[in-house]
Amino acid sequence: MSTSEIKLPYGTITKKKLIMHFSAYDIDLPIIAAGIRERMDVFRELDVEFAGFGTEVPANMNEQSPAVVKCFFEYVGKETDSSVILKRVYHLVWGGMIMEFPDLVEWAAAKADLSNLTIAQADVLRAQRGE
């Protein structure tokens, strides 16, 4: 391909690198990690290395500007058109995330547990302050 950058709905391919990005409001890090882990053996076969992921917190975070989760991949093979392979990786990550996403009952229970943990942490902080 002659272009130096390819835009995807949730990512960008530049030369031999794919950067995927997700809204932290929509998708949690564990779901992304599970989706990547689900397909890691295929990435190795395609000569693509997972280079990490993390959260990018905007300087002025508010309800309208959530944190962005970025995932980094690099093609380390010898093909001249790495963009074709990195597009495949892009789709494999999404497929892996769908495969690993919990069903609605599990997801709702996990969200309830997180809510209960947050309430318990707030109670501990109030107790420490003597409120």
Residue 2: per-residue pLDDT? 44
Residue 46: per-residue pLDDT? 95
Query: Residues 85, 92: contact at Cβ < 8 Å?
Result: no
Residue 111: per-residue pLDDT? 82
Residue 61: per-residue pLDDT? 67
pLDDT tens, N- to C-terminus, the chain (131 residues): 445 899 999 999 999 999 999 988 778 888 889 899 999 999 999 999 999 998 877 777 666 777 889 999 999 998 778 999 999 999 999 998 888 887 888 878 888 888 899 899 999 999 999 87
Residue 74 tokens read as 């690099």
Residue 15 tokens read as 């030369």
Helix residue ranges, H only, the chain = 29-45, 82-100, 104-129
Closest among 81, 65, 76 to 4, alpha carbons compared: 81
Q: What's the whole-model pTM score?
A: 0.74
Residue 110: per-residue pLDDT? 80
